[in-house]
């Protein structure tokens, strides 16, 4: 995954303390090092000085690319949501009307891929106390929008008993939590590959009360569309 940054200014950073440590752009190096430090050391325990030293730049140079530690965190967390959210409109537009279940199945596949590729499993941070109390300006609205998409797609295919039991809002929360098992799997060192992605997507449809024959049709339709969405077969 390419690390992209929301910069606080367009100026080039000051000279480095040391030589280049990678072929990444300075902003991408900052994100890469921050992701590793936040996950391994904790967000509160990591300072901008720690991040700068890990990259090999002066602390002041970091502020040429980001406004501060909260801005770095916000950008990293967006990377665990943005690739999935950006594809919701296309998923809804291109999934075949005769297989409405394919839209939710495909969103789950895309989202598993996003979480499986998030640098250093950074998505695990957003439920930690020292992160929930921080200012993540764009991430929370994006996560809420993605949750609503899950609820909307789930409600469209929910069986009558499911629809009578829970609201679309509640269903969205349940479905996104199903997909977020990827975060726990990565933390435990488990593989999240093709089979696991499809198992999670099928599980989302089962939560909605979709019968197996419809799940099988959704899998076939979503697998074909997945290649067009991400330029490869449905492998995280």
pTM: 0.86
Structure-token pair, residue 220: 């076939």
Q: Domain ranges for the chain, please list them.
A: 1-77, 79-230
Please provide the CATH number assigned to the domain covering 1-77.
1.10.357.10
Quick check: helix, strand or coil at residue 132? helix
Tell me which residue of 22, 11, 21, 23 sits closest to 66, measured CA to CA: 11
Tell me which residue of 167, 114, 109 sits closest to 143, measured CA to CA: 114
Burial 188-201 (b: 16+ CB within 10 A, else e): eeeebeeebbbebb
Q: Which residue has the tokens 């199945």?
A: 105
CA of residue 50 relative to chain centroid, distance: 25
| Same fold across 1-77 and 79-230 | yes
For every one of its 236 residues, what pLDDT tens digit does the chain have, with 9 covering 90 and above? 445 444 444 333 333 444 445 677 889 999 999 999 999 999 999 999 999 999 999 999 999 999 899 999 999 999 999 999 999 999 999 999 999 999 999 999 999 999 999 999 999 998 888 887 777 778 889 999 999 999 999 999 999 999 999 999 999 999 999 999 999 999 999 989 999 999 999 999 999 999 999 999 999 999 999 988 877 554 55
Q: Radius of gyration over alpha carbons of the chain, in Å?
A: 19
The Cα–Cα gap between 106 and 95 comes to: 9
Alpha helices in the chain (DSSP H): 26-41, 48-55, 59-62, 69-78, 82-85, 88-94, 101-117, 129-132, 139-157, 160-165, 168-179, 181-187, 194-207, 212-230
Specify the CATH number for 79-230; select among 1.10.10, 1.10.357, 3.90.550, 1.10.3470.
Answer: 1.10.357
């Amino acid at each position: 995954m390419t690390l992209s940054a929301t910069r606080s200014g367009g100026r080039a950073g000051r000279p480095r303390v040391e030589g280049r440590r990678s072929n990444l752009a300075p902003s991408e190096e900052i994100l890469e090092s921050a992701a590793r430090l936040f996950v391994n050391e904790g967000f509160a325990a990591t300072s901008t000085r720690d991040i700068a030293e890990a990259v090999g730049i002066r602390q002041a140079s970091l502020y040429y690319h980001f406004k501060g530690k909260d801005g770095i965190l916000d950008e990293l967390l967006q990377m665990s949501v943005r690739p999935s959210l950006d594809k919701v409109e296309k998923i809804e537009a291109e999934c075949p009307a005769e297989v409405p279940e394919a839209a939710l199945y495909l969103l789950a596949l895309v989202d598993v891929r996003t979480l499986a590729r998030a640098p250093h499993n950074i998505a695990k941070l957003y439920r930690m106390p020292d992160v929930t109390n921080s200012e993540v300006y764009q991430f929370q609205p994006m996560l809420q929008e993605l949750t609503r998409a899950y609820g909307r797609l789930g409600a469209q295919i929910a069986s009558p008993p499911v629809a009578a039991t829970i609201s679309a809002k509640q269903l969205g929360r349940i479905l996104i939590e199903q997909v977020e098992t990827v975060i726990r799997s990565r933390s435990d060192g488990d593989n999240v590959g093709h089979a696991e992605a499809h198992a999670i997507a099928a599980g989302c449809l089962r939560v909605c009360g979709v019968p197996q024959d419809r799940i099988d049709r959704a899998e076939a339709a979503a697998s074909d569309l997945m290649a067009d969405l991400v330029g490869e077969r449905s492998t995280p």
